[in-house]
A = this chain, B = another copy of it.
Amino acid sequence: MSSNALQYARDHREQHLAELKQFISIPSISAQPNHKPDIERAAQWAAEHLMSIGFSASVHPTAGHPIVLADWPGAGQDRPTLLIYGHYDVQPVDPLSLWHSDPFEPVVRGDDLYGRGASDDKGQIFAHFKAVDSYFKTTGRPPVNLKFIIEGEEEIGGPSLDPFIESHKAELAADVALISDSHMLRPDLPALAYGLRGLSYIQVELTGPATDLHSGSFGGAIYNPIQALVEMIASLKDPNGHITVPGFYDKVRPIDDDERQTLAEVPFGEEQFKKDAGVEQTWGETGYTVLEQVTARPTLEINGIWGGYQGEGSKTVLPAKAGAKISCRLVADQDHREISRLLCDHLKRIAPPQVRVETKSLHGGQGVLVDRNTPAIKAAAIALQRAFGAKPVFLREGGSIPVVASFKQMLGIDTVLMGLGLTDDNLHAPNEKFHLPNFYRGIEASIHFLSLLGGER
């Protein structure tokens, strides 16, 4: 009975929080090779935790970071099977100096738990661990068969997951998938995401002279690679914020009137958005609302740039090299491989002949739009309403969860996107946090969802 599980979850919040802190304290930064042992440790921790709950679980090595699988088929063949996905890896923490507390010594301030990965995605996946745990500890068995897949390359768009899914179709077979790796608009307003943006993430490096030069002796007659880089990047958008890469928009599905209406009805607070971002004015592609810009339109952002002397004081150098990291958020039906290729080709084409250009694709994933009218989505909507006391809104997410497309394509299943984060959670930024009421209500929403999916009322 879900009521027993709900009561158990309410009675054990302190313990659940303490366990989540343990998970967050493992610095499982997937982008940085020196954290490889922490990655292994986080995978092991997740597997052991699921085993302690009652699952059979295993850590599967890959060419990159390991994948955790867990299985509990105990509800019986007449019951549906739910596959829950999450990731145990986290973003890098720099600039570390801007954190108010150690990113890997999670601490509660007010209603929030601060730490790298608190919201993205350790806290969100852990809510489902604890929902399932609450069933096992009370009724002894959840009403649906359950599988977990927890990966360690989400933040780097690693190549291991898709081949793993392809080669483990039987183990992963399920009726529907559930992911909590997205967000709500306000703590009192749950959300179900039906659209996700894809991602193309590339790096471009320019080489001009063979070595760093004295800007006095050579300046004025050498194409400075920083100069070339800024000119190239500046040209990637026109004054209307439109991306100039030829072919970039060819496959973008336009926002139709119906969807424009749906998005207009989302209680999206532009003032709150500006407050969350810490800006006084927004800026974006002409002709679209802010919500459309961040969810339904593709973007191009410079994620990093470097070149020459960055230290204190002055160094009169004309550098040999400069580089940048550039990523595009994609919408259906853009293909991330094609967009990365178009962008890299374009950068090479527009570079002045005096510099050598190298590009590489670092990360990619497809955007998706899912059907809002499946039974699982309807069950999720009721579950969220019960836990949060408000009907969920249907959202398109600005971020990317490429596995949703992979599940559809390889396992033939739809995914329920039950975001438990908030827009001011500082994802990928200093002082990442998870709103604890969302953690506790998330556990309850998950309990309700399992119950409804299992045929209970």
Query: Chain A: residues with CB nearer than 8 A to chain B?
Result: 30-33, 91-92, 94-95, 98, 155-157, 183, 197, 199, 201, 203, 208-224, 226-227, 229-231, 233-235, 237, 273, 276-285, 290, 293-294, 297-299, 301-320, 322, 324-325, 327, 329, 352-354, 362-363, 397-400, 423, 426-431
Contacts and interface: CB of A to CB of B under 8 A. Distances in A.
B221 A284 contact: yes
A28 B237 CA distance: 45
Contact of A224 (B197, B199, B297, B301): B301
3 smallest A-B Cβ distances: which pairs?
Answer: A210-B278, A216-B399, A304-B308
A293 B221 CA distance: 6
Contacts of A354: 279-283
A64 to B, nearest CB: 11
Number of copies: 2
Contact of A283 (B222, B363, B400, B427): B222
Nearest to A296: B220
A209 B399 CA distance: 18
Contacts of A283: 221-223, 352, 354
A318 B306 contact: no
Contacts of A223: 279, 281, 283
Given A33-B312, A283-B352, A305-B306, 6 more contacts: A156-B313, A214-B427, A216-B399, A220-B299, A222-B279, A230-B231
Contacts of A324: 226
Contacts of A208: 279
A161 to B, nearest CB: 15
9 contacts: A91-B315, A156-B314, A211-B430, A213-B429, A216-B400, A220-B294, A227-B302, A230-B230, A304-B319
